[in-house]
Amino acid sequence: MPKEKPELSDAMKARLSKKTPEKNPIKGTKFTIAISSAKGGVGKSTFATNLALGLKKIGCKVGLLDADIYGPSIPKMFDINEKPKSDGQKLDPIIKYDIQCMSIGFLADQQTPMIWRGPMVTSAIKTFTQKVNWKNLDFIIVDMPPGTGDTQLTFSQEIKMDGAIIVSTPQEVALLDVKRGIKMFDKLDVKILGLVDNMSFFRGDDGKNYKIFGDGGVKRTAEEFNKEFLGEIPINPAVGIAGDNGKPIVEENSDHEISKIYLEFSKKIKSIYL
Ligand SMILES: Nc1ncnc2c1ncn2[C@@H]1O[C@H](COP(=O)(O)OP(=O)(O)OP(=O)(O)O)[C@@H](O)[C@H]1O
Ligand SMILES: [Mg+2]
């Protein structure tokens, strides 16, 4: 198969070459980690929520920032229906499962489409990073939207990001976007902690592993770009059901085989920083 050479668009290159403002850390946390991929629907939000819960289970203080302004997932995945309190200056995060959470979905009607332009997205991100009372956290896990757009750029250029984890499924079409995402973070000096192969195989009742979306593509991409391959997560319907029910699998059943995988990722991330 010919090697794909994903190129950044001209508009993206122009933005990347602009002089960048200073990167500010998010107050109230020691470390900020993005869960990204560029490709949509590969399991970023599922990974972000379960990683956050896994880190909590091993003793970390964790925040979860839903950076998906157009399609927030955290309200549904954490079953949060309340609005954050505000003192007129700052918003209090909503605490659920011992995690401090913030999402545009807490502030706007879930079914109203967010018809926002770039600068408005940037200002929402600034609110979430500067005007939320994040308190005493070890980690803020940022659930990124798909793409390499305004949200990723604002985070990478203006906020001190301590690392990014790239989630992908094994299909070539997903990996093409992922390669673009890797290039963006590299250009913006955000350290990529590694790549995760999500939905990498399905284990049938016969005990066999079926590589539905292809084999080894994420690992090969990691090698191609000299990044760490962090591991794989199989397809398991229990993961989707738990997320849809507002209690991700790590919280619902920490003994589940998939929860154990997320806990291993959590230990790995904790050991890098703490
Ligand atoms: N390992 C898995 N096994 C089974 N289903 C999964 C797994 N990981 C994710 N899913 C399901 O795949 C769907 C997409 O996941 P998710 O919403 O986390 O993706 P995303 O990358 O955040 O999407 P978007 O780009 O729209 O933000 C969800 O229905 C989720 O429950
Ligand atoms: Mg998502």
Q: What pLDDT score does 2 carry?
A: 47
Residue 229 has pLDDT above 80, yes or no: yes
Average pLDDT, the chain: 91
Compute the average pLDDT of residues 187-194: 95
- Cβ neighbours for 164, distance < 8 A, ≥ 6 positions apart: 33, 34, 35, 36, 185, 190, 191, 192, 193
Compute the average pLDDT of residues 106-120: 73
Atom 1, ligand 1: which residue's CA is nearest? 235
**Ligand 1 site, residue 243, Cβ cutoff 6 A:** yes
Q: What is the pLDDT of residues 22-45, one digit of tens each?
A: 799 999 999 999 999 988 999 999
Candidates 97, 128, 105; CA nearest to 28 is 128
Candidates 245, 244, 221, 246; CA nearest to 232 is 221
Q: What pLDDT score does 19 carry?
A: 61
Q: What is the pLDDT of residues 240-255, one digit of tens each?
A: 999 999 999 999 999 9
Out of 42-51, 125-134, 145-154, which region has the weakest mean confidence (pLDDT)? 145-154
Q: What is the pLDDT of residues 258-269, one digit of tens each?
A: 999 999 999 999
CATH architecture of 22-168+237-273: 3-Layer(aba) Sandwich (3.40)
d(CA 108, CA 112): 7
**Ligand 1 site, residue 41, Cβ cutoff 6 A:** yes
**Ligand 1 site, residue 168, Cβ cutoff 6 A:** no
Q: What pLDDT score does 60 carry?
A: 98
Q: What pLDDT score does 120 carry?
A: 83
Atom 26, ligand 1: which residue's CA is nearest? 41
d(CA 60, CA 67): 21
- Counting residues of the chain whose pLDDT is more than 70, the rounded percentage is 92
d(CA 234, CA 93): 32
pLDDT band at 114 (very low <50, low <70, confident <90, very high): low
- Torsion sign across C-alpha atoms 123, 188, 70, 64: negative
Q: What is the pLDDT of residues 160-177, one digit of tens each?
A: 999 999 999 998 888 999
- Counting residues of the chain whose pLDDT is more than 90, the rounded percentage is 76
Which atom number of ligand 1 is nearest to the Cα of residue 47?
18
Q: What pLDDT score does 102 carry?
A: 97
DSSP-derived letter for residue 148 is: S
Compute the average pLDDT of residues 8-18: 71
Residue 5 has pLDDT above 70, yes or no: no
Which atom number of ligand 1 is nearest to the Cα of residue 42?
21
What is the greatest pairwise CA distance in the chain?
A: 58
